[in-house]
Amino acid sequence: MKACLMANVLTISTSAFDDQKPGTSGLRKKVTRFQEDHYLENFVQSVFACLDGFAGKTLVVGGDGRFHNDVAIQTILKVAAANGFGRALVGLGGILSTPAVSHLIRKTESFGGIILSASHNPGGPDGDFGIKYNTANGGPATEVLTDRFYEYSRTITSYKTLDGLDVDLEQLGTQRLGSMDVEIVDPVEDYAELMETLFDFGAIRTFVKSGFKFKFDAMHAVTGPYAKEIFTKRLGVPASDVLNASPKSDFGGGHPDPNPIHAQKIFDMAMSGDGPDLCAASDGDGDRNLIVGRKCFVAPSDSLAAIAANAHLTPGYGNGLKGVGRSMPTSGAVDKVAEAKGLPLYETPTGWKFFGNLLDSGDITLCGEESAGTGSDHVREKDGLWAVLMWLNILAARKQSVAEIMMDHWSIYGRNYYARHDYEEVDAAAAKELMAALETGLGSLVGQETAAGIVKTADVFSYYDSIDESFTDNQGIRILFENGSRIVYRLSGTGTVGATLRVYLERYEPAEGDLAQDTSEAIADLVSVSKSLASIDRFTGRSEPNVIT
């Protein structure tokens, strides 16, 4: 029997906010901004006002459990009901990982979904919050659509909502909110069943029982319940080896970013002489991953390349890949695999939405970004647990260590020594001035001899999508050297304070070269040149990056 929450539709007068322009992963601000009167309602109404044909249709809603997640869901449900949605699917307790939302939209043929997350950003009352809209294909809204949201938000004068009671998010089943059904669903079950169709759970279970040691850190984020169900219940990993598995609104006071800095405990475990065979982690909303073998950190770009080379060993990809895609800043390691296997390779701007058309059209099966995001055509988001399961399946099939697999890979394809240097929370105006000055001087760089080599080309990356014929410009500055090295500069859109300047550094070493260098030593000349070419110290006041990954 449905619980019925009687409610009246209200039209509330409001004033526009000037800062509701979504970035590459939606609208992200401090929690305190989202707590301001009308702020969230304005944005949600702006989204719905730019959509057509959703009357009576289904909306999926969920988030990573960070502070304000439950309150925001109640607001969204009331605005959705007042605007005419007929049904909402919500994860139990308001919990749904980002890839799980994508899968649920696709499986139930929903109209779209709203994801509440600021991904790897800190949580808590003083932390960050975020919201983004995903379309019927399960992927993030395109820039064309998010631009419409922003333009509407600048002139909005009213929004619709209900005056009814809140929905009980802790009770499975269907409740009636005004004229909309709200179904609270198990957030894990559908996703776990999908993973069983892609990977050989039997082989992984046997491998785990054989003595393979594995630890996973959920970082007190959304993947805790998923990890307990999949790794422990279905694959036999001891419960004690799934760490920090209870989602917390402040992520246990940590920073839910699965990199060697913020996931240092599990990284150090793997780097010890008697550490686990594989350590892994995922981020706040479950779409990023960390892969570390015993004394072998697998950089995200290398992980994408290794998966491309070995995906055929898994049931879901046994027939091979149709093509692969990577974001422009991601290293060219996967390019070498694609070339060797005769696969099409697509280079896109940063942001998973740019892979959407390629996945929908069947041009690619696999895609990834250097920022620890990897995924395939099973959903339209990057997927942290999927990447970990892919590695577990590959290890079970090859029966080699992570280090052995990577050395074998480099001996075939060569090695792309690669790092990303993040200068976080720099003055936004200064960061834009740096990029403008660098762009102005691009023409004079060609032919210049530097400590990292002779500059071959220098440009601003732009992307033409041949499928929807859209054009995206100003996606980062590329400096390419004659020896195959490159430096990329880009301002990130995932932070909430100031600007983050990201500098990507890459040097290719052929298969017959030195494949065992320390990355920092291999790219030392590129680091020095990157600072001097962009005058980073002068513009930002920073002599060193905050984070190196």
- Which pLDDT tens digit goes with each residue over 468-477? 888 999 999 9
Q: How confident is the model at residue 23 (pLDDT cuts 50, 70, 90)?
A: confident
CB 227 within 8 A of CB 218: yes
- Cα separation, 175 vs 308, in Å, equals 44
Return the pLDDT at 25. 84
pLDDT-above-90 percentage for the chain: 92
- Three-state secondary-structure class, residue 470: strand
Q: How confident is the model at residue 495 (pLDDT cuts 50, 70, 90)?
A: low
Residue 438 CA to its chain's centroid (Å): 28
Return the pLDDT at 164. 81
Residue 341 pLDDT more than 60?
Answer: yes
| DSSP element (H, E) containing 91 | strand 87-95
Q: Tens of pLDDT along 515-532?
A: 999 999 999 999 999 999
For residue 156, the one-letter residue type is I
Q: Tens of pLDDT along 375-392?
A: 999 999 999 999 999 999
- Cα separation, 74 vs 72, in Å, equals 5
Question: Between 300-310 and 384-398, two packed helices, what is the crossing angle to 10 degrees?
Answer: 50
Strand-strand pairing, 278-282 and 214-217: parallel
Strand-strand pairing, 449-450 and 453-460: antiparallel
> By mean pLDDT, which of 4-8, 9-13, 162-166, 237-241 is the weakest?
4-8
Picking from 390, 288, 371, the residue whose alpha carbon sits closest to that of residue 328 is 371
Phi, psi (5° rounding) for residue 481? -105, 155
Picking from 244, 299, 284, 291, the residue whose alpha carbon sits closest to that of residue 270 is 291
- Cα separation, 201 vs 257, in Å, equals 27
What's the CA angle centered on 111, arms 106 and 114, to 5 degrees? 85
Residue 423 pLDDT more than 70?
Answer: yes
- Cα separation, 88 vs 75, in Å, equals 13
305-335 burial, b at 16+ Cβ within 10 Å, e below that, comes to bbbbbbbebbebbeeebbbbbbbbbbbbbbb
Residue 457 pLDDT more than 80?
Answer: yes
Residue 328 pLDDT more than 60?
Answer: yes
Residue 394, token pair as written in the block: 């590959």
pLDDT, average across residues 160-178: 96
CB 135 within 8 A of CB 51: no
Return the pLDDT at 1. 44
Q: How confident is the model at residue 494 (pLDDT cuts 50, 70, 90)?
A: low
CB 363 within 8 A of CB 287: no
- Cα separation, 396 vs 408, in Å, equals 16
- Cα separation, 96 vs 517, in Å, equals 41
pLDDT, average across residues 120-133: 95
**Active-site annotation, residues:** 119
Mean pLDDT for the chain? 95
Return the pLDDT at 4. 61
Return the pLDDT at 547. 85
Domain architecture of the chain: domains with CATH = 3-187 (3.40.120.10), 191-413 (3.40.120.10), 415-548 (3.30.310.50)
Return the pLDDT at 498. 84
pTM of the model: 0.94
Task: Give the contacts of 518 (CB within 8 A, at least 6 positions apart).
Answer: none
For residue 340, the one-letter residue type is A
Residue 542, token pair as written in the block: 């920073």
- Cα separation, 308 vs 320, in Å, equals 9
> Exposed/middle/buried for 14, CB within 10 Å: 0-12, 13-18, 19+?
middle
